[in-house]
């Protein structure tokens, strides 16, 4: 299994290098900077994709300073890139918490209740990507 993982990572690196070279032409170079490579969620779970027709949903979030999102969970993978601000995400089931800042990449926990709070003085801006079963929502609020 480890050999397959290493081979897959090398193949991905080769694709990145080839894509970067193919995109750069003449006087317009393209610089590709990998931002993250993850195989587990923030709580250490393996990332698993939906088993039916996968739909990719992309959203932009802005969270005001001091704002706290309601307790919620995601049944499918959710990824977020922190464009601005500082966000604390707490797993309400385990008490574990992570703090994310500008430039961080988040692989959110799947099926675990959690809550996020903007702990900075600036708005938090997130680019969020969900992979869900077609037509499904990826946020369930705790009642």
Determine how many CB atoms are found less than 10 A away from the CB of residue 70: 9
Specify the pLDDT at position 114.
97
Residues 14 and 73 in one domain: no
CATH code assigned at 65: 2.60.120.10
Main-chain phi, psi angles of 99, to 5 degrees? -115, 130
Residues 24 and 59 in one domain: no
Residues 13 and 70 in one domain: no
Residues 46 and 98 in one domain: yes
**pTM value?**
0.75
Residues 53 and 21 in one domain: no
Residues 48 and 86 in one domain: yes
**Tens of each residue's pLDDT in the chain, 143 residues:** 433 433 343 344 444 444 444 555 567 688 888 888 899 999 999 888 888 899 999 999 999 999 999 999 999 999 999 999 999 999 999 999 999 999 999 999 999 999 999 999 999 999 999 999 998 999 999 98
Specify the pLDDT at position 24.
52
- Indicate the number of domains in the chain: 2
The CA distance from 90 to 101, in Å, is: 15
Residues 136 and 88 in one domain: yes
Alpha carbon distances (Å) from 7 to 2, 12, 48: 8, 9, 20
Residues 76 and 9 in one domain: no
Alpha carbon distances (Å) from 66 to 26, 36, 40, 63, 96: 47, 27, 28, 8, 20
Residues 78 and 129 in one domain: yes
Task: Report which of 51, 14, 33, 34 is spatially closest to residue 132, judged by C-alpha positions.
Answer: 51
Residues 17 and 62 in one domain: no
Determine how many CB atoms are found less than 10 A away from the CB of residue 71: 15
CA torsion sign for 133, 143, 67, 103 is: negative
Specify the pLDDT at position 36.
85
Residues 9 and 52 in one domain: no
Residues 73 and 136 in one domain: yes
Contact at 8 Å (CB) between 81 and 105? yes
Provide the domain limits for residue 101: 41-141
């Amino acid at each position: 299994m480890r050999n397959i993982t290493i081979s897959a990572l090398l193949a991905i690196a080769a694709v990145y290098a080839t894509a970067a070279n193919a995109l750069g032409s003449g006087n317009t170079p393209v610089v590709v900077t990998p931002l993250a490579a993850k195989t587990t969620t923030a709580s250490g779970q393996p990332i698993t994709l939906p088993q039916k027709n996968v739909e990719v949903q992309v959203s932009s979030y802005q969270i005001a300073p001091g704002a706290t999102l309601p307790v919620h969970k995601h049944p499918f993978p959710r990824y977020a890139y922190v464009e601005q601000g500082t966000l604390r995400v707490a797993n309400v089931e385990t008490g574990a918490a992570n703090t994310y800042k500008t430039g961080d990449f988040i692989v959110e926990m799947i099926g675990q209740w959690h809550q996020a709070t903007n702990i900075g003085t600036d708005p938090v801006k997130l680019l969020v990507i969900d992979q869900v079963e077609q037509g499904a929502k990826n946020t369930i609020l705790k009642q």
